[in-house]
Amino acid sequence: MQFNEEERLSPEEFLKQVNKESRGKLKIFLGMCAGVGKTYEMLKTAHEDFKNNIDIIIGYVETHNRKETKELVSGLEIIPRKIFKENNISYEEMDLEKILNRKPKIVLVDELAHSNAPNSRHNKRYQDVLEIIDAGIDVYTTLNVQHLESRIDTVGKITGIVVMETVPDSILDSADEVEIIDISPEELLKRLAEGKIYQEERAKRASENFFKKGNLTALREMALRLTAERVDHELREYLQSNKIKTVWKSSQRLMVAVGPSPHSAQLIRWARRLSYSMNSQWIALYVENSKKLSDADQIRLNSNLKLARKLGAEIITTSGDDLVTALTYNAIKENVSQIIVGKPRSTFLSFGYSKLIRRLINESGDIDIYVMGGTKKELAQKLSSDQIFEFEINKYLTSLAIISIVIHICYFLNDYINYQTVSLIFIFTISLISLFFSMGQVLLVASVSALAWDYLFIQPKFTFYVNKLEDILMLLMYFFIAVITGSLNSKIRSQQKMVKNREKRALALYNLTKDLSSATSLKEVINNAVKNIKKTFDVDMVLLYSDDNEKLNKNLSDNKNMFSIDEKEYNVASWVFQKHQKAGKYTTTLPSSDAQYYPMYTPRMNVGVIGIKLKEDEKISQDKERLLETFIYQIASSIEREILNQKNQKNILFEESEKLYKNIFNSLSHELKTPIATILGATSNLRSENEIKDPTFVKNMAEEINLAGERLNRLVSNLLDMSRLESNKMLLNLDWHDISDLINSVINNLKSELINHTIKVEIEDKLPLLKIDFSLFEQAISNIIINATIYTPPQSIITIQAKSSNDNVFLIISDNGKGIDEKHISTLFDKFYRIPGTKTGGTGLGLSIAKGFIEAHNYSIKVENISSGGLRFTIKIPITSENSLKI
């Protein structure tokens, strides 16, 4: 057993492998910098593939006018570039759509790190490549090491150039093959000098700026090391996929503490490198505290978290004012083996910070702690936090104003109160201020008031000098009491605020789940979802869900709570739907659209898409986005529940109709066959020449044929009537009719059917004329009577009554037979319903048609057992001025 256990891949490992197999393969030609010959090498490989009859095409190749490269481009199929026009500048970009439609085996896409023109589907070319791979197409691409997300800091340090076009490391990780194109820096410089890389003018500039031997050597080392790391990694993966577990898979989990600091970005990159070399998962943890972040900080925090996500980290956000507790708690919960924290350069803060680190080391137990150094850049960035100060300065001014007013008041009251009372008034004011302002302001107010007290109220006045020891003590105590009450108050307040915020979120979520679970139909679920999202986030929104064909349902005209979307927006939504990735405004995919779209999916199905538009047309805050994503997940599972429910219902209906269909078929063919058999039997008898044709025999035969014919005729009429009813296009031919006329007509037509039964007619005098469709009524009543003749024993009495009360005319058809079991009463009028165990003959249509015809007039019909035996049908016709006429 144990042996098996060891041999087996864990489900996650297996999934990863399967995923890799069904997608297209990615081959990256990696170089240290431009000019090493990546494109050239890629094209050469392409030509070899082409010779081997592989369907390989060029999606996008930049020749840079290099002669050798240009020669290699010819001979291969090239997808023409797409031209984008923006502000009179046209951009040539790879045509993603055409490549996907062309669906070759392999496509060449040069310069993976390229940023696309505005209005392209994706911001970055690597996103295009990912989509191509997802479509099952292999991609060859080229990449310089300096564009890798995790390397840009180092590259910046080495070359002094800030690289803007970056590619997430996960792309390189997911590549199936990486080929390093390596030449020595000398060789490269020689090629540059020969003008093989850039034209002369540019070559000169390039060699001055970038192409320095030192730079190149460093970049080369970086590229080679990266490849070496990768080889190491691949080896480990190989061992795993071949179930060779000689090397134990790293059980290490890293956690990096992330904040709004620019230093965090570096930490994140470093953590990602560490996790890669350790082959471990990693987590980025953000501890939200009660301090409100400034806008600038919020933006930086978002970009940091985004970076972490891009680099493959799992993001966890938690709240708590104590950083150490939050870190260790989550580290233990997530089974983390290493925690990475930053070390800020600022000496000003370092005292408190090193205390934190010490606490962290003490409290984290077995977990290793890495403390990473910061850089100078951070200080520069720190300056921008002056904005925070500016933002807060108003608050400082306000608190100063308040205290100075209080000081003034006290000063004027000086003659009536002693100076100790003044200190109490000050403390009271500070307590009040601490309820609305934060720590800094409280400190300021405390200091100012202490000085004012000393200067204005403590003897000797108008000096800061205090001569009594008692007063000195009081002053000191005053200051401490002010600071402590102030800070405690403000802390309690901010914690309350945090709790309140969380409560608000919890409440919103609770309301959503409550509304969703109480909804009983898809429409209701959607309405409740829309209502809750709009209420909680104050946004305009649209919700599209999957239809039966796994496409987004465009039909939302019935819901005025949603904004309408055009074809373009629908396409964005469809992309989101298929790719399970958010897109739209403020995202990196299809940013030119009007709204942000989030996918709704569950592990079992693709549910739909939610699009939102903020009222102020701004980006949704990370905070809210997280809550929104939770909302969306809840909504997705509720919609899934309803869709599955509907499918279930449909299946049941389908089975029922299948059963019904079979029944109809059986009874119809039986109904047709019997009279046909009778007719054919009788006629063959009449035709045979040997028979003596005595008149009674012939007459009997004719009688049989006639009966069979009538039966067939009745069946066909019923079917025709039924289809008339079903078509829903029945026009009533209304005219004034006499009820006795109607009843007579029925009886005359049914002479042969009524031959074995006694019919009794009781028509009240002075019945009003009724405006009805004569033939429909005739048919309805005939069907009821025929039914009675079939299911009651011969010689039974069938009674037809017509009578009126003040408001209604009643047509009552009753028999004195046995009646029916009560349990069949409710289904008696159902189409094709036949009481089980009744004799053959009849399709179960007659009564259903009768009911249909009566109800087409908006009159009602009911059936009941008569207590003395028999069945009674009652047609109720309300008397109105339109439909009846007294005579």
Partner 1 sequence: MNKKKILIIDDEAQIRKILKISLESVEYTVIESETGNDGIAKTAMYNPDAVLLDLGLPDKSGETVLKELREWYKKPIFILSVKNSEKDIISCLDHGANDYLSKPFNIPELLARLRVIFRYEQNNQEEEHIFKLKDIEVDFTTRNVKKNGEIIKLTSTEYSLLSLLIKNRGKVLTHKYILNEVWGHGFSNETQYLRVYIGQLRKKFETDHNRPEIILTESGVGYRFFTDF
Residues of the shown chain interacting with partner 1 in the complex, contacts defined by CB under 8 A = 709, 713, 717, 720, 724, 733, 735-738, 740-741, 743-745, 747, 749, 761, 763, 769, 774-775, 778, 885, 887
**Using CA atoms, how far apart are residues 769 and 880, in angstroms rounded to an integer?**
11
**Shortest distance, CB of residue 727 to partner 1, whole angstroms?**
13
- The nearer residue to partner 1, 848 or 884, going by C-beta atoms, is 884
- Residue (of 684, 674, 685) closest to 707 by Cα position: 674
Q: Which 8-state DSSP code applies to residue 334?
A: T
**Shortest distance, CB of residue 651 to partner 1, whole angstroms?**
38
**Shortest distance, CB of residue 772 to partner 1, whole angstroms?**
11
636: its two tokens: 């997705």
- The nearer residue to partner 1, 100 or 763, going by C-beta atoms, is 763
From the number of C-beta atoms within 10 Å of its C-beta (0-12, 13-18, 19+), residue 817 rates as middle
- Residue (of 870, 738, 843) closest to 783 by Cα position: 843
**Shortest distance, CB of residue 866 to partner 1, whole angstroms?**
23
- Residue (of 580, 567, 633) closest to 134 by Cα position: 580
**Shortest distance, CB of residue 833 to partner 1, whole angstroms?**
24
For every residue of 504-572, DSSP letters joined together read HHHHHHHHHHHHHHH--SHHHHHHHHHHHHHHHH-EEEEEEEB-TTSSB----TT-TTS----HHHHHH
CA dihedral (665, 671, 676, 678) positive or negative: positive
**Using CA atoms, how far apart are residues 594 and 586, in angstroms rounded to an integer?**
10
Half-sphere exposure of 375 (CA within 13 A, CB side): 12
- Residue (of 772, 784, 798) closest to 849 by Cα position: 784
**Using CA atoms, how far apart are residues 608 and 221, in angstroms rounded to an integer?**
47
- Residue (of 752, 668, 675, 666) closest to 718 by Cα position: 668
Amino acid at 400: L
**Shortest distance, CB of residue 769 to partner 1, whole angstroms?**
5
**Shortest distance, CB of residue 764 to partner 1, whole angstroms?**
10
**Using CA atoms, how far apart are residues 811 and 152, in angstroms rounded to an integer?**
92
**Shortest distance, CB of residue 717 to partner 1, whole angstroms?**
6
- The nearer residue to partner 1, 585 or 724, going by C-beta atoms, is 724
- The nearer residue to partner 1, 335 or 713, going by C-beta atoms, is 713
Half-sphere exposure of 355 (CA within 13 A, CB side): 4
All residues at 6 or more sequence positions from 843 whose CB lies less than 8 Å from its CB, including other chains = 664, 667, 668, 671, 715, 718, 832, 834
- The nearer residue to partner 1, 193 or 761, going by C-beta atoms, is 761
**Using CA atoms, how far apart are residues 206 and 212, in angstroms rounded to an integer?**
9
**Shortest distance, CB of residue 798 to partner 1, whole angstroms?**
15
- The nearer residue to partner 1, 448 or 767, going by C-beta atoms, is 767
Q: Which 8-state DSSP code applies to residue 839?
A: P
- The nearer residue to partner 1, 171 or 747, going by C-beta atoms, is 747
- The nearer residue to partner 1, 9 or 759, going by C-beta atoms, is 759
**Using CA atoms, how far apart are residues 112 and 141, in angstroms rounded to an integer?**
6
All residues at 6 or more sequence positions from 404 whose CB lies less than 8 Å from its CB, including other chains = 448
**Shortest distance, CB of residue 808 to partner 1, whole angstroms?**
20
- The nearer residue to partner 1, 112 or 722, going by C-beta atoms, is 722
- The nearer residue to partner 1, 567 or 882, going by C-beta atoms, is 882
**Shortest distance, CB of residue 802 to partner 1, whole angstroms?**
9
Count of positions (residues) in the chain: 887
- The nearer residue to partner 1, 458 or 875, going by C-beta atoms, is 875
